């Protein structure tokens, strides 16, 4: 059977670092990028005698996420120890939730070419991150170096059902999930720094079959592109194996970025036997009604709902709505501006174009903008009235970014106001046509290409401030078109 006769089946396991100040079981900082072991204490170093004490915010964030994804939030969940030896695992076990996670059975709706699709979320559980081992430090030949700054950073694992059917759906799910987590304020969505990580369970089965094939777990997928490439590569690989009469082994495979392939991680010396058992140092986790209610109260409008509303309320195309709602601060700022702007679509054009470019080029975060939504609305209104050209408006916006001054002041100071007075423009047009009688003759004889010359001459005479619409209108009238 060719590849097209097989169905790919994908489930994603997402590890999201929760945006807390301190680690899950101790007071050390969670900040990224410190010198090795500068964010460690006896607890996260796994010293003898230490005990974990749970960070309340971690619980709040998991509950918030569970509610946003429509999960059942368990009143009681249980901590377990996952036992294995690795140099970056200081206690020789990871504290995690195993058979009784904090949230179960939710869903996330995504868009696919064939319409909306509901992906089931099987569970959300909490755990501590491990440290980091560096294998290739030149100063330490033959050694690996262990940095435990990350050990004990709070992670939330979100496990989907194998409901995804191709790499694009997987990417769509991952993007949608990231948008939700960022909206909720529980995660920064940063794939590169590893604060939002994804493993993919991939299998293939003949189309029409209801029995899943043997799955492989793909790791090292730290961008949306790699996720897509890895799934597509892996599905094709599994089909090849099956087609050549082989059998897919259940294993963990690593995405090799350079070679563009997945490769088997050398299997551990002994089969994994994590010897899970209930963590005796932590009582079962009780989620009180009060805690749950506090999180229900702060649930924001989620990206998908916001997108739908933007399309309806502002009459925006889906493309615009998606970009504008991808991040909550941008969406909020857009809405604030829309209250003052005459035309939401033109506002959206500005947001998707010049405004985004300036944000990026000036490196200004939204929170540090120097002008108000009302001022941006005012600028758009002046464009609408013809007071400034769309082009000049870009300059004004740039100046607003840099100085925070009112658009009217910038327009006045820079003399950017357009001449929209019919009499004034008509006088210049008449003058130019009179001075260039020869060209006018050529035009009338059919050489339409000189039209641009007339426009240029008029604008030059008006120092670029002629209202372009009016200039065109009058030129055409005088030339007899």
Summarize as ranges the residues that interact with other proteins (CB under 8 A). Answer: 20-22, 26-29, 35-42, 45-59, 78, 81, 83, 85, 87, 90-93, 133-135, 137, 139-140, 142-148, 265-266, 269-270, 273, 275-278, 280-286
Own/partner pairs, 18-21, CB within 8 angstroms, 24+ separation: 18/57, 18/58, 18/61, 18/62, 18/154, 18/155, 18/156, 18/186, 18/187, 19/61, 19/185, 19/186, 19/187, 19/188, 20/55, 20/57, 20/58, 20/61, 20/154, 21/57
Considering beta carbons, is residue 3 or 47 the nearer one to other proteins? 47
- Shortest distance in whole angstroms from residue 73 CB to other proteins: 15
Which residue, 72 or 144, has its beta carbon nearer to other proteins?
Answer: 144
Query: Helix 167-184 crosses helix 224-243 at what angle (to 10 degrees)?
Result: 150
Q: Compare residues 36 and 70 and give the one whose CB is closer to other proteins.
A: 36
Q: Which residues contact 41 (CB under 8 A, 6 or more apart)?
A: 26, 27, 28
Shortest CB 298 distance to other proteins, Å:
15
Which residue lies nearer to other proteins by CB, 118 or 143?
Answer: 143
Nearer residue to other proteins within complex by CB, 16 or 428 = 16
Burial class (CB within 10 angstroms; exposed 0-12, middle 13-18, buried 19+) of 282:
middle
* CA separation for the pair 48, 51 (Å, rounded): 9
Strands (E), 84-131: 93-97, 103-112, 115-128
d(CA 452, CA 445): 16
- Between 221 and 425, whose beta carbon lies closer to other proteins? 221
Q: How far is the CB of 45 from other proteins (least distance, A)?
A: 6
Distance, CA of 70 to CA of 64 (rounded, Å): 10
Dihedral, 300, 302, 305, 308 alpha carbons, nearest 10: 110
| Shortest CB 145 distance to other proteins, Å | 4
Q: What is the spatial distance between Cα 449 and Cα 256, in angstroms, rounded to a whole number?
A: 57
Compare residues 36 and 386 and give the one whose CB is closer to other proteins.
Answer: 36
How far apart are the C-alpha atoms of 112 and 310, rounded to whole Å? 20
Nearer to other proteins by Cβ, of 39 and 215: the residue is: 39
DSSP letter for each residue of 413-452:
HHT---B--HHHHHHHHHHHHHHTHHHHHHHHTT-GGGHH
> What is the smallest separation between the CB atom of 411 and other proteins, expressed in angstroms?
48
Q: What's the min distance (Å) between Cβ of 312 and other proteins?
A: 38
Does the CA dihedral 380-384-387-393 come out positive or negative? positive
- Min dist CB 90 to other proteins, Å, is 6
What span, in angstroms and rounded, lies between the C-alpha atoms of 477 and 481?
6
Q: Which is nearer to other proteins, 193 or 281 (CB)?
A: 281
Report in angstroms how near the CB of residue 98 gets to other proteins at its nearest. Answer: 12
**Surface-to-core class of residue 417, CB atoms within 10 Å of its CB (0-12 exposed, 13-18 middle, 19+ buried):** middle
**Closer CB to other proteins, residue 51 or residue 366?**
51
Please state the closest distance from residue 328 (CB atom) to other proteins, in A: 21
The least distance separating other proteins from the CB of residue 254, rounded to whole angstroms, comes to 8
């Amino acid at each position: 059977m060719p590849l097209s006769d097989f169905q790919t089946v994908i489930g994603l396991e997402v590890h999201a670092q929760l945006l807390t100040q301190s680690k899950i079981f101790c007071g050390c900082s969670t900040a990224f990028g410190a010198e090795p072991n500068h964010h460690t204490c006896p607890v996260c170093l796994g010293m003898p005698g230490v005990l974990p004490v749970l960070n309340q915010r971690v619980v709040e964030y998991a509950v918030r996420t569970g509610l946003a994804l429509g999960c059942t939030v368990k009143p009681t969940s249980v901590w377990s120890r996952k036992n294995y030896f690795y140099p970056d695992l200081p206690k020789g076990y990871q504290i995690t939730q195993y058979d009784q996670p904090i949230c179960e059975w939710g869903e996330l709706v995504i868009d696919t070419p064939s319409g909306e699709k509901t992906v089931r979320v099987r569970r959300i559980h909490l755990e501590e991150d491990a440290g980091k081992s560096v294998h290739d430090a030149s100063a330490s030949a033959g050694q690996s170096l262990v940095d435990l700054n990350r050990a004990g950073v709070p992670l939330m694992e979100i496990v989907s059902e194998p409901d995804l059917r191709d790499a694009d759906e997987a990417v769509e799910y991952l993007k949608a999930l990231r948008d939700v987590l960022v909206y909720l304020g529980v995660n920064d969505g940063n794939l590169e720094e590893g604060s939002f990580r994804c493993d993919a369970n991939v299998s293939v089965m003949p189309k029409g079959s209801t029995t899943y094939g043997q799955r492989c777990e793909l790791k090292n997928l730290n961008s949306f592109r790699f996720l897509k490439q890895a799934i597509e590569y892996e599905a094709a690989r599994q089909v090849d194996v099956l087609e050549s009469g082989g059998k897919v082994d259940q294993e963990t495979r690593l995405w090799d970025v350079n070679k563009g392939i997945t490769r088997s991680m050398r299997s551990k010396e002994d089969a994994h036997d994590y010897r899970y058992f209930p963590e005796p140092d932590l009582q079962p986790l009780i989620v009180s009604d009060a805690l749950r209610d506090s999180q229900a109260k702060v649930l924001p409008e989620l990206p998908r709902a916001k997108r739908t509303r933007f399309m309806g309320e502002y009459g925006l195309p889906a493309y615009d709505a998606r970009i504008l709602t991808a991040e909550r601060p941008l969406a909020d700022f857009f809405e604030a501006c829309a209250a003052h702007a005459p035309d939401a679509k033109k506002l959206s054009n500005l947001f998707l174009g010049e405004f985004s470019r300036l944000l990026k080029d000036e490196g200004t975060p939204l929170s540090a903008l120097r002008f108000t939504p009302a001022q941006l609305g005012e600028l758009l209104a002046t464009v609408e009235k013809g007071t400034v050209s769309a082009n000049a408006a870009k300059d004004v916006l740039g100046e607003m970014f840099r100085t925070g001054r009112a658009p009217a002041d910038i327009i006045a100071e820079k003399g950017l106001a357009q001449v929209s007075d019919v009499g004034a423009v008509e006088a210049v047009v008449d003058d130019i046509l009179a001075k260039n009688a020869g060209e006018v003759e050529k035009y009338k004889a059919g050489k339409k290409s000189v039209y641009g010359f007339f426009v240029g001459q008029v604008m030059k005479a008006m120092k670029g401030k002629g209202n372009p619409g009016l200039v065109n209108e009058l030129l055409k009238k005088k030339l007899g078109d």
